[in-house]
Structure 1
Amino acid sequence: MTDPLMLQEARQSPDVTRRQLAENADVSRALAAAIRALKPAYAVTIARGSSDHACTVLKYALETQLGLPVASLGPSVHTLYGARLDLRGALVIAVSQSGASPDVVENVRAARESGALTVALVNVEGSDLARAAEFVLPLRGGEERAVAATKSYLASLTALLSVIADLSGDDALLRGLDALPAALEATLALEGQARDLADRYRFAENLIVLTRGLHYGVAQEAALKLKETSGIHAEAYSAAEFSHGPKRLLAEGLPVLAFTPADQAAAATRAALDALQGDGADLRTIGPASGSTLTTPGTGHGLTDTVPSALAFYLFAAHLSLARGLNPDQPPLLSKVTKTR
């Protein structure tokens, strides 16, 4: 039996990362120079779905590495309500696999007209979004046919990191990027463990996904993919926020899947998860922290650590769908490109 496209494309991620790092070097330097000249007071992201979850990771990256506040722009503010936002001097970042959604394209066009520095992270280089933005950072993922995005999401996590490393002078981040392709290759070797972990959840109907810090956008993506490929009602929370009400769900027996960072959020995440286990939570973990149920390879930097974690989850999610007798490439009611206005 041929493996589903979701698995085939996820396994391409080491080569995608190598290609992106090599082929985006010139535009990354040019973008860093433009940001340095502009000195933006804040940044805005525009995206939907998996791309918006990548923007959550980028928000943490820009705020922790550059001290640059980041807000998520609601596309409908412009396309449905007709509001023209004053984004003069802002850094506006749009992320899209297809670059075809009219609402994202129109917001980038309006932002550029208002005087923002606009950047598109996009997989289809000839797309409307690529034409609308001043700078384009190609994801370099090649054709992605699976409805469930994998390699394009992973490429969205990394596309801006060279720029951030340039602006911050963070040599550790550069080393993390250099180490990333090999770390992704090592993650692929964990597919058997991911399949075994997936078997634990084959009859789950609901699932809580938790983490802290840089991995939060990975948790959001995980919850989406569980809905998309297995029909599981999954919700992502910060482990800090979970105690403010949602923790009540543990009394109903909902299992917990958590991402375990090895960065500055590690101790707080571990303390929160230990407390949940003390309350009887059914908990399994994925991430670079030692002792995780599925321990992913570390890269030496918290930002690049998110990528093997997300890849390991994709392997888990694809095998979970198969274990439930489903085809992750054919989720009901969904198509590859969603165009919203």
Structure 2
Amino acid sequence: MTHPDPLMLQEAREAPQVVRRQLAGNTTVVRALAAALHERRPPYAVTVARGSSDHACTVLKYALETQLSLPVASLGPSVHTLYGARLDLRGALMIAVSQSGTSPDVVETVLMAREAGATTVALVNVEGSDLAREAEFVLPLRCGEERAVAATKSYLASLTALLPVIAELTGEEGLKRTLETLPEALEHTLTLEDQARTLAERYRFADNLLVLARGLHFGVAQEAALKLKETCGIHAEAYSAAEFSHGPRRLLAEGVPLLGFTSADAAAAATAQAYADLGRSDADLRTLGPAAGSTLTTPQTGHPLTDPVPSALAFYLFAGHLALHKGLNPDAPPLLSKVTRTR
């Protein structure tokens, strides 16, 4: 008797349909938000999120800074909810990301920011949630129900939801065309599942793993480290490939393996050089991403902002199969639940 694949893998495979649905359904709010930002011209942006959603914010930070020259900072929700500070966010753009839209600390921080005069935007899957009600603009993720404890399709949708707004603000036709073809790139990524399963096999006995990346892929590395803890019980940490030599490299002497994300953008050459240096040190390094020669090569989408999406999807396939190789159920991680409410 065959058993169905874990929900984690089933939901990750929905990514192409999710992105198609999101792009088609968000046209009106994308134009309204772009018009408001064009008129208000925020001097900086702040993000507020937890867990996987916060890792998506790292990717969005690089996107906003590289494309709009808009400085972005991550807010600690407890600054307001525990310490009682009411930040001066007049004129700022606040982006809140949440799958459920129910975490009280995120909701309360958005309400505080809106009262302070910020333009508030929620990237949220549950459109009737508290977060969606408090934000001025809502970009729905349009994932449908996500039942797996380990978020996959909602993280991927969080990477893409703001990109049409950036395309509207920059007027970049190349990004608009790339977004239209992104679902096809994700479908191609799904054909790499056997390769992801094979790569995962070699890590089945790993207890520790370091995940490296630079630039737009760094938020994917953060998410990868979280998922390895969550679904595989592996103590994993994410580092910038540039920062790794400033101390963490010491761990190579203990035989800790590495997983490095590659890129095909402005960070590609520096990342490749860092990995080549590690290779000369006999580091146990395998790579994943759009750069030619990666151990698991993902599709190049045609734009730096969208390349991390297939990389993240390929990693989810890797992580799901790694959990299975280790005899674990990625849908039932010990001590965890789908929705975490923090204050």
Q: Which residue of 1 aligns with 2:325?
A: 323
User: Which of the residues 152, 155, 165 maps onto 1:153?
Assistant: 155
Q: Which residue of 2 aligns with 1:248?
A: 250
Partner of 2:243: helix, strand, or coil?
Answer: helix
Q: 1:134 and 1:151 mapped to 2: Cα distance? A: 24
Q: Which digits, 9 at most, give the CA deviation of each residue in 1:237-265, with x for residues without a partner?
A: 00000011101111110100010000110
Q: Which residue of 1 aligns with 2:213?
A: 211
Structure 1 length as normaliser, TM-score? Answer: 1.00
Q: Which residue of 2 aligns with 1:221?
A: 223
Matches within 5 A, 1:52-91: 52-91=54-93
Q: Which amino acid aligns with 1:310?
A: A
Q: Which residue of 2 aligns with 1:121?
A: 123
Q: Which amino acid aligns with 2:41?
A: K
Partner of 1:240: helix, strand, or coil?
Answer: coil
Partner of 2:212: helix, strand, or coil?
Answer: strand
Q: Which residue of 2 aligns with 1:162?
A: 164
Partner of 1:328: helix, strand, or coil?
Answer: coil
Q: Which residue of 2 aligns with 1:105?
A: 107
Moved over 3 A (4+): none
Q: Which residue of 2 aligns with 1:42?
A: 44
Q: 1:118 and 1:53 mapped to 2: Cα distance? A: 19
Q: 1:289 and 1:174 mapped to 2: Cα distance? A: 22
Q: Which digits, 9 at most, give the CA deviation of each residue in 1:282-324, with x for residues without a partner?
A: 0101000000000001110111000000000000000000000
1:191 Cα offset (Å): 0.4
Q: 2:246 and 2:181 mapped to 1: Cα distance? A: 38
Partner of 1:302: helix, strand, or coil?
Answer: coil
Q: 2:215 and 2:181 mapped to 1: Cα distance? A: 21
CA-based RMSD: 0.5
Q: 1:29 and 1:61 mapped to 2: Cα distance? A: 18
Residue segments in structure 2 that go unaligned for 5+ positions in a row: none
User: Which of the residues 259, 265, 271 maps onto 2:261?
Assistant: 259
Residue segments in structure 1 that go unaligned for 5+ positions in a row: none
Structure 2 length as normaliser, TM-score? Answer: 0.99
Q: 1:199 and 1:179 mapped to 2: Cα distance? A: 31
Partner of 2:311: helix, strand, or coil?
Answer: helix
Q: Which residue of 2 aligns with 1:234?
A: 236
1:179 Cα offset (Å): 1.6
> Identity of paired residues, percent?
78
Deviates more, 1:217-226 or 1:175-184: 175-184
Q: 1:36 and 1:82 mapped to 2: Cα distance? A: 32
Partner of 2:22: helix, strand, or coil?
Answer: helix
1:172 Cα offset (Å): 1.9
Q: Which residue of 2 aligns with 1:306?
A: 308
User: Which of the residues 94, 97, 109 maps onto 2:96?
Assistant: 94
Q: Which digits, 9 at most, give the CA deviation of each residue in 1:93-140, with x for residues without a partner?
A: 000000000000000001000100000000000000000000000000
User: Which of the residues 254, 274, 277 maps onto 1:275?
Assistant: 277
